[in-house]
Amino acid sequence: MNLFFVIMLCCAAFLAEAAPVQIDIYSVNDLHGRLRAAENAPGAARLAAALNLLKAANPKGTLIVGGGDMLSGSIDADSFEGLNAVEAMNIMGFAANCAGNHAFDYNFPAIVRQAKAADFPLLAANITDANGNIPAPFAPYAVVKRNGIKTGIIGVLDEQAFKKVKPDRVAGLRLTSPADAANKYAAELRRNGVQVVVLLAHIGGQMENGMLTGAIVPVLDNLKGIDAVASGDSHTVFACSYKGIPAVQAGEYGRQIGHIKLFYDTDAGKITQAEANVYETGALTQERDSKAAAFLQPYFERVDAVYSKVLAYNTQYLANEKYGESPMADYFMDLINCELQTDITLYNGGAIRANLPVGNVTLRELKQIFPFNNTLYVVRLRGRDILKALEHGLGSKEIGRVRFAGLTVTADLTVPEGGRLISVQLADGSMLNPERYYSVAVNDFLLSGGDGYTSVKGAEIIRESGKDLDVLSTALKKAGQINFDYNNKRLILK
């Protein structure tokens, strides 16, 4: 009887299949230093509470990762070189973060300090120096264990990412193919016994008619040995399976959290099931993590002590849609045009980052809108180069819509760049003359050719006019009240 029992146990052990191991990957991208709870952001303390809640369901099998652009872009983070945002990520338990183009909003010594303060690596497998090496503090990948499964995490940026960076910040660096870099290091990880490989890709994408589109698609088409992709950059929300690879992007500012659930069969040595989702942070919890809240409160108080001065009163809500209409941006473009007394103002849409609610406008609100400390210049620009800038900045799904003042533009955004403009009129009703020179207010990012504005690059400088924040705060104090009559007549779409 005992022998029979032993034999039956052995047979059962032989026949039984090990249950698949569950790995939960939670991703946050494009946080942009939104540490404080606001109209368009839950704040780091609530984000931490939501991640804690999700992690509790699978404590040993959860991986929290960043899809890039996590630090810069808010006064609360930038006032401290992003170091408080790094510590907030430490508190949340991030295992890795992918470098994004806005990592270079900070100078290189600041990036090094951020990396030293982080409990997680800063990944950039396709950034190299002149010798083809990945420069410190960047690393190509990290390896962690979750539920006993050896998991590799690779990070890459869009090959065009440096077009969105001031050239002096990336001097001597270059970007290689993200797919080639991902495949190279995925193969290396596999050779070293890694069982699951996750790619963090700061490369934009969006869903259109149920199909994934954008710069991420050709990268996905050429991946080998990658099990899951968490992306960033375009501030969009998607969760899908693309040719068998689960892929997510979780919006912006911590409002969403991406989730890729993997089931790994240890017997077969492969993933047998994968799911992709995106959750609204506010729908998960209204609680705040006490440790994160206590850590951040002194930083908020220090910022408020400096930036709480009231500049003006806003009488109506002014929205800002990065790829669409922005009454708020139009108001401030008019303000710059008036303050600097130029014919035209041109501004990259990606530099404008917040809405403007009704009420007192403080220096802190203004810094939330214009977070990148740009310098304004008045330049001499030929009409044909202005037309090229408008063609480039209108209708693009890769960069924010160009903002302007002093012009009325009629355009068809459904056609490719080069044929979008129908007519461009000046404020006096005359047509823009392609051969005439105009005085144009631009920021240093446009002047350097950032975001692909090559027609503005190197324009003749008439004068430097100071930081955008200084120019606009002076103009707001003069105005006293914002009562903007928005009718969108400056851009007429056909």
Distance from chain centroid for Cα 480: 33
Residue 36 has pLDDT above 90, yes or no: yes
Q: For the segment 134-150, what is each residue's pLDDT rounded down to a tens digit?
A: 999 999 999 999 999 99
> Quick one: average pLDDT of 354-369?
94
Which backbone phi and psi does 174 adopt, to 5 degrees? -145, 160
pLDDT value of residue 488: 67
User: For a pLDDT cut of 70, what percent of the chain falls above it?
Assistant: 96
* pTM score, whole prediction: 0.89
- How confident is the model over 390-434, as pLDDT tens digits? 999 998 878 899 999 999 999 999 999 999 999 999 999 999 999
Helices (H) and strands (E) in the chain, counts: 14, 28
On the question of pLDDT at 7 being above 70, the answer is no
Residue corresponding to tokens 């401290």: 80
Residue 250 in this model has a pLDDT that exceeds 80: yes
Question: Tens digits of per-residue pLDDT, 95-115?
Answer: 999 999 999 999 999 999 999
Write down the pLDDT at residue 486: 84
The reported pLDDT for the residue numbered 227 is 98
Domain boundaries, the chain: 18-298, 308-493
pLDDT digits (tens, 9 = 90+) for 333-358: 999 999 999 999 999 999 998 999 99
d(CA 60, CA 53): 14
Average pLDDT over residues 64-80: 96
Q: How far apart are CA 234 and CA 62, in angstroms?
A: 25
308-493 CATH fold: 5'-nucleotidase;  domain 2 (3.90.780)
Q: Is the pLDDT of residue 220 over 70?
A: yes
488/448 Cα distance (integer angstroms): 29
Average pLDDT estimate for 285-312: 97
Query: How far is Cα 468 from Cα 441, in angstroms, rounded to an integer?
Result: 11
pLDDT of residue 16: 46
110: left (phi over 0), alpha (psi -120 to 50) or beta: alpha
pLDDT digits (tens, 9 = 90+) for 259-296: 999 999 999 999 999 999 999 999 999 999 999 999 99
Q: What is the mean pLDDT of residues 53-68?
A: 98
**CATH topology assigned to domain 18-298:** Purple Acid Phosphatase; chain A, domain 2 (3.60.21)
**Are 385 and 436 spatial neighbours (Cβ–Cβ below 8 Å)?**
no
**Within its chain, how far is the Cα of 149 from the centroid?**
30
